[in-house]
Amino acid sequence: MSAAAQPERPARATRPARPAPVAPAMDLQALITDPETRIVVCCGAGGVGKTTTSAALALAAAEAGRTVVVLTIDPARRLAQSLGLVELDNEPRRVEVPGADGELHAMMLDMKRTFDDIVTAHSTPERGQAILENPFYQTLSSSFSGTQEYMAMEKLGQLRASDQWDLIIVDTPPSRSALDFLDAPNRMSRFLDGTMIRLLTAPSRSGFKIASAGFMFFSRIISKILGGQLLRDISAFVAALDTMFGGFRERATATYELLRRPGTWFVVVATPEPDALREASYFVDRLSAEGMPLAGLVVNRTHPPATTALSATRAEGAAEEVAEAGGPGAGLAAAALRVHAERMLLATREQHLADRFTSAHPEVAVRTVPAAAGDVHDLDGLRGMADALTGADDDTPTGTPRTRVLPARRA
Amino acid sequence: MSPDSSPVRLHVVTGKGGTGKTTVAAALALALASDGRTVLLVETEGRQGVAQLFDTPPLPYEERRVAVTRGGGEVKALAIDVEEALLDYLDMFYNLRRAGRALRKMGAIDFATSIAPGLRDVLITGKVKEAVTRRHDGRPVYDAVVVDAPPTGRITRFLNVTNEMGQLARSGPIKTQSDGVMAVLRSPQTAVHLVTLLEDMPVQETADAIDELTKAELPVGSVIVNMATEPVLPVEELTRAAEGRLTGADLAPALAAAHLTGGPELAQALVAEVTEHARRWAGQDALRDEVEALGRPTIELPLLTGPMDLGSLFELAARLEDHLRTEVAAA
């Protein structure tokens, strides 16, 4: 895809090429073992490996002696099974990690259940029942576009309040945009507490009301669009909700504030693809605007070559020479050189995309995580990923720092 | 045979996040636009991914040409803006465009679309249906419409608008509108294609989505396997490498014969890369059976190493075109 995280500035084309800025290294081992670190939020676009990253970090933290819980949103089945998450009971479960000094707990978010629990916990049985049976509530709690994000925040607040864990690692919902995780709870509370809903539902609460012409008009349009039944359901829902517990807004604000407290860190996850890095870029800007602490960027599923001594072009040429020279094993060796040439091309493209991100965000620390040959779906697979996430920056077979896919070109 | 002599005119492309469904939708639009046809590519998620793929400025809520194909065909693209679609709708049915603009200022439009998540979907699918059925001089304006749809997790809810609205608005014009949309979506004119990778979770989600779509009586089209590793070695060598039985000694003599410097280290590094390549291929190959078991027509698209540009899109389009031809021939 031709557009990347940031558009290329035109001035750069005319200047001699400068080496791309080098990203600072990210020390996740120090981050997760620091007792001051209480919450780590993994965010990023859909399909970049947030769930596996969260689980791998939690495993590494447990092995380093911490009592950690990982809140996952939508894990792959085999990964969920390997974490013992076969039952959807919306409560953390201990995962046996042989030889770990600490404890690993894992849970999978059930958004409807979390919402139902809030309703039940904050109302009388009869009122609670009325809300749970309201058709509008049922739609809201199972399919409103921000419910999952809101409930993930809610659950995070609950886990933090219980003080049972010294580290909570949160995976974020597979939203359309990574920013939804930050925006949805506020959007939802704004809408539940907002003027619109008060206007709409005012008649049902005060018996009758002399409404302004503007409001009548508005109400008529909304009824036209949505049908009258929906408005009656919403009215009943809001009336029941209102007497039940304090505003949704305060609740959402409280959980949002939790994310700004010291001890909370964000880890942005992306794959070396323009879309994912663009999302990561938006997210980094947003975190900085909100004053939320960013640990750094994980570039997941990179393809670093096993040797950087032979470029793609030279490997292609060598493959031809080997094939021409013939002899036993020539076909195999030529194929191996072609595998290497493709690998170098892929790695070059990935490094280029990572460099563009770093040009726009030179202060953001980076860690690359090589793609596993197969799916990560058991503790061993997670441990492999945990090593890649938390290992020393220069501890690689080729000596290329883990900040990068390919070594930096010398100026 | 031309690629679209099949009855399908509405191609809905879905897939798990990260499977490349926008790229596949764009390539499919190019494939369908060959031989002078006119195709509309609709973006529903407001990400401007289509504009980025075709390297054009962000798309307005307007049908814009983004590519021409051989034989004078063309692909137009439309990024649906839900608020604009609602204003269109108010205008069409109530002559209320100006009032609608005032409502938007009050935040009422945002309110209406968030209060009823299904409303958003009704408006988007309503616009899609309009494009599919639009006629000019007795002919359809578009030979085909390709929709870059929401991901597999939401696709059935997105398309099953009648059901969704039935829960919310049991009467009213939106209900009538959504019934009309359903009639098109359930007809043989429509095919829902699923993009997957040869990885556990996308394949699982594809299977789940096919079940859900079938239950909702929505027509399932092809399974498109994206970014498949193309084997560089013969299968028996791949199997040997995947089992970890390839060694530096297997490569060293041939490398030396061609006077390559680097010695055993190079041979060792190449073995490591070939082994990984073989294991990735073997892992993917194991999932091919699961994809086949889905019982849908399947096509594989390779992982392209270069940057994704218009040239790569045409490369993928050529493969999709072949697939469409064989599909039509088999039907």
Q: Is the pLDDT of residue A1 over 90?
A: no
Could you tell me the residue ranges of all domains in chain A? 28-308+342-390
Note whether B244 contacts A: Cβ–Cβ < 8 A.
no
Domain that holds residue B239: 235-276
Alpha-carbon distance A80 to A74, whole Å? 9
Are the CB atoms for A222 and A200 separated by under 8 Å?
A: yes
Q: Do both B216 and B137 map to the same domain?
A: yes
Tokens of B188: 């043989």
Model confidence at A7, in pLDDT bands (50, 70, 90)? Answer: very low
ipTM over 0.85: no
Alpha-carbon distance B119 to B121, whole Å? 5
Q: Do both B125 and B60 map to the same domain?
A: yes
Averaged pLDDT score across all residues of chain A? 82
Count Cβ atoms below 10 Å from residue B40 Cβ, excluding itself: 25
Tokens of B224: 């498109």
Q: Say if the Cβ atoms of A375 and B305 lie within 8 Å.
A: no
Model confidence at A13, in pLDDT bands (50, 70, 90)? Answer: very low
pLDDT digits (tens, 9 = 90+) for B287-321: 999 999 999 999 999 988 777 788 999 999 999 99
Q: Do both B17 and B148 map to the same domain?
A: yes
Q: Say if the Cβ atoms of A226 and B272 lie within 8 Å.
A: no
Q: Strand order in B38-43's β-sheet?
A: B64-69, B73-79, B38-43, B144-148, B10-15, B190-196, B220-228, B298-302
Q: Is the pLDDT of residue A9 over 50?
A: no
Alpha-carbon distance A292 to A290, whole Å? 5
Q: Do both B123 and B58 map to the same domain?
A: yes
* More confident of the two residues A44 and A373: A44
Alpha-carbon distance A23 to A401, whole Å? 11
Q: Do both B137 and B270 map to the same domain?
A: no
Give the residue on B whose Cα is nearest the Cα of A322: B258
Instruction: List CB contacts (< 8 A) between A220 and chain B.
Output: none
* More confident of the two residues A183 and B165: A183
Q: Do both B147 and B242 map to the same domain?
A: no
Model confidence at A196, in pLDDT bands (50, 70, 90)? Answer: low
The pLDDT value recorded for residue A83 is 76
Q: Is the pLDDT of residue B194 over 70?
A: yes
Count Cβ atoms below 10 Å from residue A9 Cβ, excluding itself: 9
* pLDDT (average), residues A240-246: 60
Task: Report residue B231: phi and psi, to 5°.
Answer: -65, 135
pLDDT digits (tens, 9 = 90+) for A76-117: 666 777 777 766 568 898 999 999 999 999 998 888 888 898
Model confidence at A198, in pLDDT bands (50, 70, 90)? Answer: low
Q: Say if the Cβ atoms of B232 and A339 lie within 8 Å.
A: yes
* Sign of the torsion angle spanned by Cα atoms A339, A341, A346, A348: positive
Q: Say if the Cβ atoms of A374 and B279 lie within 8 Å.
A: yes
The pLDDT value recorded for residue A12 is 43
* More confident of the two residues A113 and A241: A113
The verdict on residue B295 lying in a domain is no
Model confidence at A208, in pLDDT bands (50, 70, 90)? Answer: very low
Closest CA to B49 of B88, B18, B73: B18
Q: Looking at the 3D structure of chain B, how many domains does it have?
A: 2
Closest CA to A272 of A347, A341, A345: A347
Task: Please tell me which of A239-248, A330-339, B256-265 the model is most confident about, judged by mean pLDDT.
Answer: A330-339
Helix (H, G, I), strand (E, B) or coil at B190: strand
The verdict on residue B16 lying in a domain is yes
Task: Please tell me which of A30-34, A123-127, B163-167, B226-230 the model is most confident about, judged by mean pLDDT.
Answer: A30-34
The verdict on residue B24 lying in a domain is yes
Model confidence at A360, in pLDDT bands (50, 70, 90)? Answer: very high
Q: Which of residues 263-302 of B touch A (CB under 8 A)?
A: 265-266, 268-274, 276-277, 279-280, 283
Q: Do both B207 and B66 map to the same domain?
A: yes
Q: Which residue in A176, A230, A271 is closest to B18 by CB distance?
A: A271
Q: Is the pLDDT of residue B283 over 80?
A: yes
The pLDDT value recorded for residue A199 is 60
Q: Say if the Cβ atoms of B55 and A2 lie within 8 Å.
A: yes
* More confident of the two residues A303 and A250: A303
The verdict on residue B269 lying in a domain is yes
Q: How far is the alpha carbon of A62 from chain B, nearest alpha carbon, in Å? A: 26
Q: Which of residues 166-195 of B touch A (CB under 8 A)?
A: 167-175
Alpha-carbon distance B9 to A245, whole Å? 51
pLDDT digits (tens, 9 = 90+) for A29-70: 999 999 999 999 999 888 888 989 999 999 999 999 999 999
Helix (H, G, I), strand (E, B) or coil at B79: strand
Model confidence at B179, in pLDDT bands (50, 70, 90)? Answer: confident
Q: Say if the Cβ atoms of A327 and B170 lie within 8 Å.
A: no
Model confidence at A8, in pLDDT bands (50, 70, 90)? Answer: very low
User: Which range among A193-207, B16-30, B250-264 shows the weakest confidence by mean pLDDT?
Assistant: A193-207
Model confidence at B203, in pLDDT bands (50, 70, 90)? Answer: very high
Instruction: List CB contacts (< 8 A) between B164 and chain A.
Output: 143
Closest CA to A272 of A339, A341, A346: A346
Give the residue on B whose Cα is nearest the Cα of A188: B114
Are the CB atoms for B13 and B150 separated by under 8 Å?
A: no
Alpha-carbon distance B155 to B307, whole Å? 29
Give the residue on B whose Cα is nearest the Cα of A304: B273
The pLDDT value recorded for residue A248 is 64
Percent of chain B predicted with pLDDT > 70? 86
Averaged pLDDT score across all residues of chain B? 87
CATH number of B129's domain: 3.40.50.300
Helix (H, G, I), strand (E, B) or coil at B10: strand
Q: Do both B243 and B315 map to the same domain?
A: no
Tokens of A101: 């000094």
Residue A380 one-letter amino acid: D
Q: Say if the Cβ atoms of B86 and A225 lie within 8 Å.
A: yes
Q: Say if the Cβ atoms of B52 and A325 lie within 8 Å.
A: no
Q: Which of residues 56-85 of B touch A (CB under 8 A)?
A: none
Q: Which residue in A187, A339, A374 is closest to B277 by CB distance?
A: A339
* More confident of the two residues A303 and A157: A303
Q: Do both B270 and B155 map to the same domain?
A: no
User: Between the CA of residue B214 and those of B11, B128, B188, B219, what are the distances in Å?
Assistant: 16, 21, 13, 7
Q: Do both B120 and B41 map to the same domain?
A: yes
Tokens of A11: 């001035």
Q: Do both B252 and B197 map to the same domain?
A: no
Q: Which of residues 10-29 of B touch A (CB under 8 A)?
A: 16-19, 22-23
Closest CA to A385 of A57, A61, A76: A57
* More confident of the two residues B210 and A247: B210
Please calculate the CA angle A359-A363-A366 and round it to the nearest 5 degrees.
85
Give the residue on A whose Cα is nearest the Cα of B248: A333
The pLDDT value recorded for residue B46 is 75
Closest CA to A183 of A247, A109, A70, A259: A259
Tell me the CATH architecture of domain A28-308+342-390. 3-Layer(aba) Sandwich (3.40)
The pLDDT value recorded for residue B2 is 44
Instruction: List CB contacts (< 8 A) between A48 and chain B.
Output: 18
Q: Which residue in B53, B119, B153 is closest to A1 by CB distance?
A: B53
Q: Say if the Cβ atoms of A78 and B273 lie within 8 Å.
A: no
Q: Do both B91 and B214 map to the same domain?
A: yes
Q: Which residue in B18, B53, B108 is closest to A196 by CB distance?
A: B108
